[in-house]
Homo-oligomer: A and B are copies of this chain.
């Protein structure tokens, strides 16, 4: 009947344990940490005392000596965002395994606030930082002179000496086209989102390159707009008007794809038989709600977070890297490109 959560973990210190066990603090410390310099019987007494008092060592004091705190800072810029969260989960996952705690900060895209947070994290002596961007476009470096390693995730640092882990958007565009072509499509249009986003440009570049490799011409220019369903509807209507022969539409995001599918249905085209549709991001609330369910390119954000965390570990352990590491993506095939 011992409580898992101690009644008074507050003030109980190693000194108390030592006193109860009738030994010195030094011995108590060694006993609890498995050092070899202590007799089995003594160790048992100390362990029992510690349990009885539900002793929990003060990590602050421990960190002060070790100058390793076992904490890292996770600096994000859009906590509400579609991208930060899975990355954050992956990182939390990779860290959480061992005894690392994660400080979460949201700078909300404000450079001032970001500097402030970095300072606060440094004063808490984090062992490292992961900086998560909200767009794939390069972002300013935190600087080379930080006392701890930094890994940039999703949005790369402008400084090539920093280490950045990003998604291969060009490759994602290529693999999307490859998939569509492999299902026999040849008259492919591309409707995407905000042209100021690096992601839309890179995906389009990859898609066009792959079309070229297959000896195909795109069905009309790439259509940039916004990352919304309504743009998808509008653009799809335009494509159907100008290129009625179209047999596949690659969409810059799942939301755009939803709009496109709506418009296709209203124009009497069936998916995937008349026209195949495909999105990016594999946001399941969109892909699985669609009729038919939506094929999409998964950006593997969680893996990105995990990789970033591992690279940070390596850097903390003295194995720094630099440059941009692009992770590949994966096509998740559903009903919108291959029949039922």
Contact = CB atoms under 8 A, between A and B. Distances in A.
Given A3-B143, A147-B10, A122 B89 contact: no
B64 A125 contact: no
Contacts of A105: 92, 96, 101-102
A330 to B, nearest CB: 18
A61 to B, nearest CB: 6
Interface residues of A, number: 60
Contacts of A64: 58, 60-61, 64
Given A101-B120, A103-B101, A88 B79 contact: yes
A56 B123 contact: yes
Contacts of A117: 96
Given A56-B123, A147-B9, A92 B63 contact: no
A142 interface: yes
A4 B96 CA distance: 31
Interface string A1-21: 001111111100000000000
A255 B258 CA distance: 13
Interface in A1-52: 3-10
A130 to B, nearest CB: 12
Contact of A74 (B10, B57, B96, B104): B104
Interface in A72-101: 74, 79-80, 85-86, 88-89, 92, 96, 99, 101
B104 A92 contact: yes
Contacts of A300: none
Given A102-B104, A143-B3, A285-B255, A9 B122 contact: yes
A312 to B, nearest CB: 16
A288 interface: yes
Given A101-B103, A228-B288, A142 B5 contact: yes
Contacts of A9: 122, 146-147
Nearest to A93: B106
Contact of A3 (B122, B145, B289): B145
Interface string A281-293: 0000100110100
A3 B106 CA distance: 23
B86 A123 contact: no
Residue of A6, A104, A115, A230 most packed against chain B (CB within 10 A):
A104
A64 B60 CA distance: 6
B69 A79 contact: no
Nearest to A113: B96
A61 B118 CA distance: 19
Interface string A113-139: 001011111111100000000000000
Contacts of A69: 60
Given A59-B124, A60-B125, A79-B85, 12 more contacts: A4-B115, A4-B143, A5-B115, A5-B143, A8-B145, A10-B147, A58-B64, A60-B124, A79-B92, A103-B104, A230-B289, A230-B291
6 contacts: A58-B64, A59-B123, A60-B60, A60-B125, A101-B103, A230-B289
